[in-house]
Amino acid sequence: MKTLLSIAVLVFAFTFAANASDSSKDVKKKIFGTWKVEAPDAPYDYQEGEIKFYKEDGKEKIKISTTYDVIMGKNLKVEGNKVTFEFEVEYELCTAKLEYKDGKMTGIVETVEGNIPVTLSKKK
């Protein structure tokens, strides 16, 4: 009986882990493309823009376009529905921590001056 219970627990754990990794893969596929960015609490030049997640030469890339600047992101990570990446603004490292849900991403950008709420909507 203990063996049967142990096997059931292992099968459940394996199934849960497999589904979690599929979820990350699905989200990663869905984030690729161009997103409209809104961050009303950010400095004026960074309140609106676009983020493009794409692949080039087999590598994942992030291009952030604002009113007056183009910034390249790095270190894209997707775990479940959580999306994180880093970028520099005026030589300061910023970290975006987002959650993908219902075709949108919301979260914060951590900066040296504090956290800034951000919303991303996929462009068609």
Structural domain span for residue 32: 2-122
- CATH of residue 45's domain is 2.40.128.120
CA atoms within 13 A on the CB side of 8: 5
> CB-based contacts of 90: which residues, under 8 Å, 6+ apart?
none
**Over 50: is that where the pLDDT of 102 sits?**
yes
What domain count does the chain have? 1
pLDDT at 1: 47
pLDDT at 25: 80
- For 3-15, the pLDDT digits (tens) are 443 343 333 433 3
**What average pLDDT is seen over the chain?**
85
Q: Which residue has the higher pLDDT, 76 or 15?
A: 76
pLDDT band per the 50, 70, 90 thresholds, residue 59: very high
Q: Which helix (H) or strand (E) holds 2?
A: helix 2-31
Q: Is the pTM of this model over 0.95?
A: no
pLDDT band per the 50, 70, 90 thresholds, residue 68: confident
